[in-house]
Amino acid sequence: MTSLILLSIFGIVNLFLGFMKSKKVLMPMVMLFLAVSLGATLLDWNNPQTYFNNMFTMDNFSIGFAAVMILSTLFILPFSSKYGRDEDGNLAEYYSLMLFSLVGGIMMVGYENLLMLFIGIEIMSISMYILAGSDKRNILSNEASMKYFLMGSFFTGIILFGVALLYGATGSFDLTIISDAARNIDAGNAPLLLMGLLLVLVGITFKVGAAPFHFWTPDVYEGTPTVFTSYMSTVVKTAGIAAFYKLMSAAFGGVYEQWFPTVVAITVLTLLIGNIGAVAQTSMKRMLAYSSISHAGYLMIALTSFNDRSENAILFYSLAYSVATIAAFGILKYVADERKSDAYEAFNGLGKTNPLLAFVMTVAMLSLAGIPLTGGFFGKLFLFSAALEQDMLWLIVVAILMSAVGIYYYFRVIIAMYMKDPAGERITVDALASFTLISLVVLTVLMGLVPGLFNDLL
């Protein structure tokens, strides 16, 4: 709860900081805000509290995911330093929007009541609609914002419709009451309840970028300024998947048999579309967009297996995925800014001109591909374990085939960096970003060598 209050206050304070002439102070201040919020969040560990008449709770589950989101934001910020040097005057607003959307994200993982979930989704989404269009002079950014906004509002509407039906079926927005009602599903409320569940499911599927409601992802990711794309594909996804898991476990655990076929179908479809779609891309940014769709699919494997391993598997995977994705987008931003292209070719010869960037990118790609020595490997291992405990061998076979496809497109970047001639001069990277990249690598390798530090926290 303290983190919610702190982040809201910091967001407003930050807006006032924006009145200052120098923009240089903004980023360090926001990083400080985030560090304080992270500390405040972690202080509540093992000390669950509920607020607002049991509408919101900070238990280890929500603290874990909130920490991943705040940490991710902290890692993303250093890559935005270039905005501070540009003449663009809205930096403070962008940072504040990020802080506000984090508030929404934390509400999405801590909700105990569907209204809270809805408000969380809206707070997070509206901030993102604006951030998607923050590169005002770029027509792609405008398009991205418009598309995201229209689609997003439409799907929020669907969620709201679903929530209304659930209220009709159960007489409450509270997860526990819905859960009780769902357990007695034969009491004549089945059609309304299941219809409501389906609509909420559709809405959340859209928010996490899972198929078949993924179609906005590549265009929006491509148009959005890279720093915010990075935020979108990590923080927003983590919030979405955690909210998704919580909804299914806390409210609809009793009707697992009813929703399992739908969710497993979505999972398989997401894995297929994400991975196969990524193969066809020539732009690295669009590839990462499809890759983020595919990772939503991997995360949903834990959802479909729905056992005591799932929670931890999702948390571990979210962290490993976020860390690697932030590194990838961070480097992409540098390369694309310098070489005026986000195609694979822009990465040609990066190993020669910028060994550090190439190395970090390699580790990130290996992690996303799930190769040992990286966090991504154990992330996949834990997800697969959760599914195999449920005897879903066939699903694992699909995931394995798709992982092999994944290696194809992740390794294209590595091939470009190390095995092709340089496409440009050495790219200069500022010290803070370099430090962040090194931290991201250290964290990824640490997760790959001693996963025990991060596993089994919940």
Partner 1 sequence: MLTALLILWPAVAALLVLLVKGQGAKKVAFGAALVELLLGIWAWVGFNPTDSSAQYLINLPWIESAGIVFKVGMDGISLLLVLLTVFLLPLIILSTFKHNYERPSSFYALILFMQTGLIGVFTALDAFLFYFFWEVALIPIYFIAGLWGGENRIRVTFKFFLYTVFGSLFMLAAFVYLYFQTPGTHTSELSAFYQLVLDAGTQSWLFWFLFIAFAIKMPVFPFHTWQPDTYAEAPAAGTMLLSGIMLKMGIYGVLRWLLPIVPLGVSQWSTVAIVLAIIGIVYGAIIAIRQHDMKRLIAFSSISHVGLIAAGLFTLTEQGLQGVMVQMLSHGINVVGLFFIIDIIQQRTGTREIAAMGGITQKAPFLTVCFMVLMLGAVALPLTNGFVGEFLLLMGVYQYNAWMGAIAGLTIILGAVYMLRMFQRVMFGETNHITDVFTDLTFTEKAVLVPLVIMVFWIGLNPNTFLNISEPAIGQLLNVINR
Enumerate residues 378-397 that contact partner 1 by CB under 8 A.
378, 381-382, 384-385, 388-389, 393, 396-397
Instruction: Give yes or no for residue 458 binding partner 1 (CB under 8 A).
Output: no
Q: Which of 168, 400, 425, 426 binds partner 1 (CB under 8 A)?
A: 400
Q: Which of 164, 373, 432, 445 binds partner 1 (CB under 8 A)?
A: 373
CB of 345 to partner 1, least distance (A): 14
Contacts of 192 (CB under 8 A, 6+ apart): 165, 166, 168, 169
Query: Judged by CB, which is closer to partner 1: 247, or 346?
Result: 346
CB of 294 to partner 1, least distance (A): 15
CA distance 63 to 39: 11
Q: What is the dihedral of CA 269, 273, 276, 277, to 10 degrees?
A: 180
Size of the residue set binding partner 1 (CB under 8 A): 29
Instruction: Give yes or no for residue 403 binding partner 1 (CB under 8 A).
Output: yes
Query: Judged by CB, which is closer to partner 1: 321, or 378?
Result: 378
Instruction: Give yes or no for residue 426 binding partner 1 (CB under 8 A).
Output: no
Query: Judged by CB, which is closer to partner 1: 27, or 324?
Result: 324
Query: Judged by CB, which is closer to partner 1: 182, or 364?
Result: 364
CB of 299 to partner 1, least distance (A): 17
CB of 42 to partner 1, least distance (A): 20
Instruction: Give yes or no for residue 407 binding partner 1 (CB under 8 A).
Output: yes
Instruction: Give yes or no for residue 32 binding partner 1 (CB under 8 A).
Output: no
Identify which range of 70-78, 145-153, 327-335, 446-454 contacts partner 1 by CB under 8 A: 446-454
**Per-residue string for binding with partner 1, 309-348, x by CB under 8 A?**
----------------------------------------
Instruction: Give yes or no for residue 9 binding partner 1 (CB under 8 A).
Output: no
Q: What is the CA radius of gyration of the chain?
A: 21
Instruction: Give yes or no for residue 304 binding partner 1 (CB under 8 A).
Output: no
Instruction: Give yes or no for residue 442 binding partner 1 (CB under 8 A).
Output: no
Instruction: Give yes or no for residue 451 binding partner 1 (CB under 8 A).
Output: yes
Identify which range of 42-50, 135-143, 196-204, 413-421 contacts partner 1 by CB under 8 A: 413-421
Q: Which of 74, 66, 1 is nearest to 34 (CA)?
A: 74
CB of 230 to partner 1, least distance (A): 26
CB of 456 to partner 1, least distance (A): 4
CB of 273 to partner 1, least distance (A): 20
Query: Judged by CB, which is closer to partner 1: 5, or 453?
Result: 453
CB of 86 to partner 1, least distance (A): 36
Instruction: Give yes or no for residue 278 binding partner 1 (CB under 8 A).
Output: no
- The structure tokens listed for 67 are 């920490």
Q: Which of 107, 131, 81 is nearest to 3 (CA)?
A: 107
CB of 382 to partner 1, least distance (A): 8
57 phi/psi in degrees, rounded to 5: -135, 145
Query: Judged by CB, which is closer to partner 1: 224, or 455?
Result: 455
Instruction: Give yes or no for residue 265 binding partner 1 (CB under 8 A).
Output: no
Q: What is the 3-state secondary structure (H, E, C) of the chain?
A: CHHHHHHHHHHHHHHHHCCCCCCCCHHHHHHHHHHHHHHHHHHCCCCCEEECCCCEEECHHHHHHHHHHHHHHHHHHHHHHHHHHCCCCCHHHHHHHHHHHHHHHHHHHHECEHHHHHHHHHHHHHHHHHHHCCCCCCHHHHHHHHHHHHHHHHHHHHHHHHHHHHHHHHCCCEHHHHHHHHHCCCCCCHHHHHHHHHHHHHHHHHHHCCCCCCCHHHHHHHHCCHHHHHHHHHHHHHHHHHHHHHHHHHHCHHHHHHHHHHHHHHHHHHHHHHHHHHHCCCEHHHHHHHHHHHHHHHHHHHHHHCCCCHHHHHHHHHHHHHHHHHHHHHHHHHHHHHHCCCEHHHHCCHHHHCHHHHHHHHHHHHHHHCCCCCHHHHHHHHHHHHHHHCCCHHHHHHHHHHHHHHHHHHHHHHHHHHHCCCCCCCCCCCHHHHHHHHHHHHHHHHHHHCHHHCCCCC
Q: Which of 102, 251, 371, 413 binds partner 1 (CB under 8 A)?
A: 371
Identify which range of 52-60, 188-196, 330-338, 368-376 contacts partner 1 by CB under 8 A: 368-376
User: Are the beta carbons of 145 and 130 closer than 8 angstroms?
Assistant: yes
Instruction: Give yes or no for residue 29 binding partner 1 (CB under 8 A).
Output: no
Handedness of CA 87, 93, 97, 103 (dihedral sign): positive
Instruction: Give yes or no for residue 372 binding partner 1 (CB under 8 A).
Output: yes
CB of 395 to partner 1, least distance (A): 11
User: Are the beta carbons of 234 and 141 closer than 8 angstroms?
Assistant: no
Q: Which of 418, 422, 430, 458 binds partner 1 (CB under 8 A)?
A: 418
Binding site for partner 1 (CB under 8 A): 366, 371-373, 377-378, 381-382, 384-385, 388-389, 393, 396-397, 400, 403-404, 407-408, 411, 415, 418-419, 450-452, 455-456
